[in-house]
Amino acid sequence: MVQILGLDIAGNPAQWLTAEQAITAAATGGIAWQWGEEPILFRGGWNRQGERSTIELFPIVALAGRKPDAWLREELPLTNTLLFRRDRHTCAYCGYEFTHRELSCDHVVPRVQGGPDVWTNVVTACRSCNQRKGGRRPEQTRGMQLLFVPYAPCLWEHFILSARGILADQMDFLAARLPRHSRILS
């Protein structure tokens, strides 16, 4: 399933578009500009003359009329899937890589101690380490320390984390705008 990266008019990521959403935007004049190395050809139905409709779209499109507002969001959505991708499916305590099923979200400052449910307070933990830590902070648990610091991904990182089957043009576009401290591609 092809996803098209939809940008606001200023070139900031706005949303991942399904092929249907992108084609509809193109057909109704909703695309201001497009970018990419190679267009993607979409084929539609047949007309009375036996001709098939086609439309070409590049993997990155700017949505006409979409005001630059996506970057104004204070906190980007936090889900286990995005968290595990941010941390590369690696436990922040033992350092081993696990499958999605074997992982859990750990609050560095536990919720029972007033820790917030925000990006800067959560890390990926294997079930064993998370159970061992329990409702304590890492420094309150003998032999447990964080191997990396949790952080809130920027808008560009968030779009990379939330992509399914990201195309090379889209990755290049987003990666070029990542901050130097980003762990997404390192």
- Alpha-carbon torsion angle 150, 88, 173, 182, nearest 10: 30
* Separation between Cα atoms, residue 180 and residue 143, nearest integer Å: 31
Q: Tens digit of pLDDT for each residue in 127-181?
A: 999 999 999 999 999 889 999 999 999 888 999 998 888 999 999 999 999 988 7
Q: Tens digit of pLDDT for each residue in 10-45?
A: 888 888 999 999 999 999 999 999 999 999 999 988
The model carries a pTM of 0.79
Contact 130, 106 (CB under 8 A): yes
CATH number of 80-140: 1.10.30.50
pLDDT of residue 99: 97
Q: Where are the domains of the chain?
A: 3-72+163-175, 80-140
